[in-house]
Amino acid sequence: MNKTALVHRKYYFRLSIAAALISLLAVLLAFSLKWITEYFEEKIFHAAAHKATWLFIFLPTIGITAIYFLRKYAFQKRKNKGITEIYKTLEQRKDHLPLFKIPSHYFNGFLTFIFGGSTGIEVV
């Protein structure tokens, strides 16, 4: 085996390990979002249905307000543009999306769902 083949083999192995770790992290994030959303959604809607049905009117307002303040203060007024932002990043040949996008989408999706909202499939 020549030296070039050994170098390629080493980099393919590293790439495979990195891809496996990133895949594992993505799966953990997806399942944690699903589990935590189901848990809190069940608690909130069970309490609203059995104790205070008038909360169904105000829950979406609470969710929108929470997302507004989260974006304003925690993410410093940076906007999420959803899947179109990913398309633009690929189109412009950028190497990466900003790091704040992962927790931003995670928490915004979580708050949207637990308070009765609906969001795009890229968050789920």
Asked whether residue 76 is assigned to any structural domain, the reply reads yes
Asked whether residue 62 is assigned to any structural domain, the reply reads yes
Residues ≥6 apart with Cβ < 8 Å to 122 = 82, 83, 86, 105
What pLDDT digit, counting tens, does each position of 64-123 carry?
Answer: 898 888 888 887 877 766 667 767 777 777 667 677 777 877 888 888 888 887 776 555
Which residue's entry shows tokens 């192995």? 13
What pLDDT digit, counting tens, does each position of 19-69 carry?
Answer: 999 999 989 988 998 899 899 989 988 988 898 888 888 888 888 898 888
Stated pTM of the model: 0.67
Which residue's entry shows tokens 């069970």? 46
Residues ≥6 apart with Cβ < 8 Å to 105 = 80, 122, 123
Asked whether residue 71 is assigned to any structural domain, the reply reads yes
Asked whether residue 89 is assigned to any structural domain, the reply reads yes
Q: How far is CA 69 from the centre of its chain?
A: 17
Phi, psi of 115 (to 5 degrees): -100, 15
Asked whether residue 12 is assigned to any structural domain, the reply reads no
Asked whether residue 5 is assigned to any structural domain, the reply reads no
Count how many domains the chain has. 1
Domain that holds residue 58: 29-114
Asked whether residue 104 is assigned to any structural domain, the reply reads yes
